[in-house]
Structure formats: structure tokens, C-alpha cells
Amino acid sequence: MKSETPVFELIQPSVLEWQQNLVNQFVELKQQQKLPHAILIELRTAVDSRSFGWHLVSALLCQSETPGKPCGQCQACQLMLANNYPDFTFTTLVDNDKTHKLNKDIKIDQIRRLIHQFTLTRNLQAGKIALIYPAEKLNKSSANSLLKTLEEPSSGSTLILLTHNAGRLPITIRSRCQKWVVENPNEKLAEEWLTKQSVPTGQVSEYLSLARKDAQLALQLFQQEFKQQQDHFSTLLNKYILNQMDIVSMVKSLKITDNEKLRLVLKTELQNMIYNLLQNELTIALKHKLSGLITLLTKIDSTLQTEDNNLNLLLQLEDVLISLKQLVK
């Protein structure tokens, strides 16, 4: 298998109960010889989902008769577990040779290697499969390079694009794929699942709310003790606003360098401020403050963009905090 050096040397296939039905559908389509050449799957969760992609591919390649579930014992399953299936290509974000950090996007050379693999004679009978994840990270050049493969598919090949945001893919890509969506579980199922994952009953609803009903993200936040980090941020922010701490000291004390985590911490804090304001009769001054908080809230996603280094990220964070202090002081 030609793998573009995925982040994890070995990827263990796994699937959640609300994802299994889609896997079953694809296996049935393959058995009926109706599996589309180009498949676009959008996952509503924000959590890394390569293990789901691995499970889906393994289920499609598995030689057993167990529907939708790789047996783990046949030749295909053993090769997939060893990341060594000769007719499978995985394309993902890889480390930059110069910076030794993860690239921001999927490069055109990676797509060219994928296309080359599709032109080779298959080694096994199941056909060739390629998985691109996260597909929204295709840059303009790599997306354009992929178009010809979508328009003129190789015989017996299947291309799966797995994404968290299909809207970020060019319409030229989306229009050439058949699309499916994996929704997050409903609230009842999400609560039951989180309880099974050892999240205390009293904290399940709180973490689901923080994660905007994304059960997988809620579990991740719980495991990372996000609530404690949020409380710590609130304490530091209060000190900064009261001039008991300067901004440099505050940012250093945060010890959060993950963009998504910073966004969520800031959003949660601003949402709490907005909620508290709305509990009062709004004077002209409070309306001005409310408007400013809402504007700042909408800017956070675009302000704290992925950066090449933590210094740029921290500078952006300082800019947001200065604006916030001016609003609430």
C-alpha cells in the first residue's frame, strides 16, 4: 500500500453505532456491484475520523460474509491491519520535510501518487480503493489534479473522500461524487453512549452542550478536562480585565496552543457573557456591549486561523483579548 505517511503508523479500524448503518449500505452496494466510483462522505463530528475511514475500507475489502463488519482474520483484513494492503492508497496531511510540522493542506504530488496507483494493475480481486482524509484540506492544485480521475475513472476503482466540511470542497469535486452524510446521534443516544464511556451522568448534558451535540467531541472534551480549562481561563480573564494581570502573563498561563480548543474556550466565555447580559434590562450602554460581544464572537473563527507556529497564534489571541477587555471594562 502506498500510504502518504499518515500521522499514526498504524490505524485501527473502528466504527460507532450511529455510523454502522452507512457502512452496511456500502457493503451491500459493493455486493450488488453498484458501488459508486467516487464517494463523498461528510461527517458532522469535529473529531479525527480516520479510524472510521479505515473501518469502512476494511469492511469493503473483507473476504468474509459478515455484513458491514471486517472479520479481522481474512487476508484482506490482516493486510489492512498491517497498513499493507497493496491496492489501497491513503492520502492525508503529512509532515513538511523542512518545518517538520504537519502541512496545512494536501499537496498535488500526493494526488499524483494516488492517480498513479490507480493506473497500476491490481494485485487482489477486490479492486483498488483510495481514501482521502480530510478531503476539505485539498488545495486548489490538488483538487484540480483529482478531477480527471473523477471524470475518467479506472475500471474497478473506488475513491472515497472523507470530510468534516463538504462545503469547503470545490463544486467541481462535489458534483462528480455521490454524497452521504453521517449525522451525530440524537440526544438520547448521545447521552446513553457518553454514559457508557464513563462520563458522569451529571456532566453528560453539560459536555454535550459545550460540544454542540457532537457526542464524540463531548467525550474528547471530558477526557481532556475541558471544564477545568474553561474555569481556569475565566479566572485569568477576570484578573486581566481587573488589571491584576497583564496580557502576556495571561496568555502564558493559559497553556493552550491548540487552535480549536482556544476557539471553543473563547466562544464559551463570550456566550456566557452574552447570556448574562440578556438577563438584565438592556440600557443603551449594555446594548452597545452586547453588540460588540456578538461581533467579536462571529470573528473568532476567522481570527484564530491555523498558523505555522504558536507565536502567530498567540499574537492573534492577544488581539482578541485586548478587544474583549475594551468591551467589558
Per-residue pLDDT of 52-74, as tens digits, reads 999 999 999 999 877 788 999 99
Over residues 208-214, mean pLDDT: 92
Between residues 257 and 177, the one the model is more confident about: 177
Mean pLDDT is highest, among 95-104, 192-201, 293-302, for 192-201
**In the chain, what's the furthest Cα-to-Cα distance?**
73
Distances (CA, A) of 213 to 16, 226, 229: 15, 16, 20
Q: Which CATH architecture has domain 17-183?
A: 3-Layer(aba) Sandwich (3.40)
Distances (CA, A) of 305 to 104, 138, 239, 295, 310: 11, 17, 26, 17, 11
pLDDT at 141: 96
**Per-domain boundaries in the chain:** 17-183, 226-328
Mean pLDDT is highest, among 86-100, 166-180, 224-238, for 166-180
Per-residue pLDDT of 165-175, as tens digits, reads 999 999 999 99
Would the pLDDT of 263 be above 50?
yes
Classify residue 142 by burial, with Cβ atoms within 10 Å: 0-12, 13-18, 19+: buried
Over residues 284-310, mean pLDDT: 76
pLDDT at 95: 87
The helix (run of H) or strand (run of E) holding residue 179 is strand 178-182
Phi, psi of 60 (to 5 degrees): -70, -30
* % of the chain surpassing 90 pLDDT: 58
pLDDT at 1: 45
The helix (run of H) or strand (run of E) holding residue 20 is helix 17-31
Over residues 221-232, mean pLDDT: 91
pTM: 0.85
For the chain, the average pLDDT equals: 89
pLDDT at 198: 96
Pairing assessment for the beta strands 178-182 and 128-132 based on DSSP bridges = unpaired
Between residues 123 and 27, the one the model is more confident about: 27
Q: Which residues contact 53 (CB under 8 A, 6 or more apart)?
A: 90, 131, 133, 160, 162
d(CA 56, CA 289): 49
Would the pLDDT of 3 be above 70?
no
